[in-house]
Structure 1
Amino acid sequence: MDKYMIIVNPISANGKTGRIWPGIAAELSRQGLNYDFQLTSGSKDATRLAKKALQDGYRTVVAVGGDGTINEVVNGFYDEKDGSLINSDSRLGIIASGTGRDFIKSLGYPAGFKETGKILVRGQCRPIDIGQVKYQGYGKEEESSFFINVAGMGMDGETVHRVNHTSKALGGKISFLGGTIMTLVQYRNRELTLEIDGMVRYHGAATLAVVANGQYIGGGMRIAPQAKLDSGYFDIIIANELGKLEMIANLPRLYRGTHLDHPKVYAMKGTHIRCTSRQKVLLNVDGEQPGILDAEFNMAPHRLQVIC
């Protein structure tokens, strides 16, 4: 078996990952996994460590943490200039230990460490799609990154910004639900224009819009129930100017994924999306809040091998 590089974010899940990592490591060793590991120490550290591991000859890099950690590790798989894979044989492994754990729900991945260890030892892979987003960073320069789960605009971006500035001590679902309700109380709908595959498909006030590769956001909200990780296109979901009480009343449907038949919810598909606004609109990318609109999203089908 090849030696894996495991990248651990010890501060994910309010520091829980760092506390339980010794037990995870012992279980992986007991199951016979051959690995090295490194701990992250700051923002974007997981990207740097993943890139170096792949350049040093590791084929498999495993992310231990939440959706943000997985996102950082995935960004380390690709060359910053041309988007090519640093190692053409590279594979991503995941040990989910963060707040949201939304990506693994779409992947059908188990939450238990014993089950995850067995999957990593077995090493079977499937190809999945990834997205690339260009957006305005807070330094007012265009920035670019890859994402594997969901990017969102509007209330979604505001909620992620709020939740990421709290301790998340109550866990993913409660933290995101509380953040959603708190954001909703103060939020004003934003004017958005969405161009999908060269055509303007939406222009007007909106509560939120998401560009989805996976199905879940916010600790279990099934925002894009029809999305598939290997479909070759994004699912785009737009909530058209929902009122505060209307939004709260429909939250149970959002968790169940039964909201697509609501008359103010629009569902579309596409591979190239451009979203613009004359207002300041915060962007969510895989549970992180890196910048604002304008933003451009491109689908990269079957660009990542994931052990599952």
Structure 2
Amino acid sequence: MDQKKNYREKRLNNFSIAKITAVVNPVSANGKTGRHWPEIAAWLKAEGLDFDYWLTAGPGQATELTRRALQQGSRLVIAVGGDGTANEVINGFFTPEGPVSEAAAVAFIPSGTGNDLSDTLQIPRNYREAIKHLVLSPLRRLDLGRIQYAGHDGNFYSRYFVNVAGLGLDGDTVARVNRTSKALGGFVSFLWGTVVSLLLYRNREMAIEVDGRLIFKGPVTMVAVGNGRYFGGGMCIAPRAVMDDGLLDIVIIHNMSKPDLLVNLPRVYRGSHLSHPRVESLSGRRVVINALGVALLNLDGEQPGRAPIEIELLPRALNLKG
């Protein structure tokens, strides 16, 4: 046995003998994931992973399949798809009573439109390299956010998120992008959606509380609550965020004009926007936001509802392999 293979086996450790399940969204990235799944599966097997897999058939099913896999004894669930698939899989690790399995871990093979979570976690976008990263990386624990929000039907819901939740312009952008085919890919789709939304958007009146203290009340362009750094197809909205530091990073863009937003949009991609006088950055563990009128929610690249929202940090709540 060569040294590299021996190293991989050591890194796989208990996962080489534990039950592994892949939850695959075949329609993510305009069907790219489904077309490439046979070769992804072959590469997983070539790296020594023995696994079962399920293909999702609609929204929300990745959560159900993940929960079923964990209840049937899976110790590692691999999410194959985009940021929305990753969010659904993570929610499958929990019930209203708590974790389904505290020993189980999640892994991600990015294959979506935005793949912002993989950028924060530094997971390669190349399938084969992502699988090697999965195999060779140590197990670690990530913080999670738990959010309560108003659904479009007027009822209130609770979900977990791992990357970024936001209100305002980003919520409008995600709603617009998700109504399109995304055939142009993540960067172009989100850039187009951002520019169009920006031209049509009107700033919202919001009241923002962090850890029980009123931080701001007035007109806001958008507010992002980041456990991770990236959203919107590559925008580094929360460049100071660390996914295991026990804190949420809150970035508020205060009542910025449309020309100013357009001029400063490249800075958001670079993560250099925090020095702008209308941008405020702080950290905390609990965030409550109310809004006058409709302020749409962006939750890990999906658009499930609107304000009001309440977010709390759950430190070291998720095991990550990769």
**Aligned residue number for residue 142 of structure 1:** 156
**Aligned residue number for residue 24 of structure 2:** 8
Q: Provide the secondary structure at the position in 2 that maps to 1:260.
A: helix
| Residue segments in structure 1 that go unaligned for 5+ positions in a row | none
**Aligned residue number for residue 107 of structure 2:** 93
CA apart distance, 1:125: 0.9
**Aligned residue number for residue 275 of structure 1:** 289
One-letter amino acid of the counterpart of residue 15, structure 1? G
- May I ask how many residue pairs the two structures share in their alignment? 306
Q: Percent identity?
A: 47
8 A Cα contact 2:81 2:111, kept in partner: yes
**Aligned residue number for residue 113 of structure 1:** 127
The 5 A counterparts of 1:7-156 are: 7-79=23-95, 81-82=96-97, 84-122=98-136, 124-156=138-170
CA distance in 1, matches of 2:200, 2:132: 45
8 A Cα contact 1:193 1:276, kept in partner: yes
> TM-score w.r.t. structure 1 length?
0.98
**Aligned residue number for residue 277 of structure 2:** 263
Q: Deviations over 1:113-138 (max 9, x none)?
A: 22222233346211110000000111
CA distance in 1, matches of 2:260, 2:221: 11
Q: Deviations over 1:259-285 (max 9, x none)?
A: 000000000111000000121110010
4+ residue segments displaced more than 4 Å: none
**Aligned residue number for residue 293 of structure 1:** 307
> TM-score w.r.t. structure 2 length?
0.93
**Aligned residue number for residue 161 of structure 1:** 175
CA distance in 2, matches of 1:190, 1:222: 22
Q: Provide the secondary structure at the position in 2 that maps to 1:288.
A: coil
CA distance in 2, matches of 1:26, 1:174: 31
* Superposed CA RMSD: 0.9
CA apart distance, 1:164: 0.3
**Aligned residue number for residue 221 of structure 1:** 235
One-letter amino acid of the counterpart of residue 33, structure 1? L
CA distance in 2, matches of 1:193, 1:250: 24
Q: Deviations over 1:192-215 (max 9, x none)?
A: 110110110011101100110000
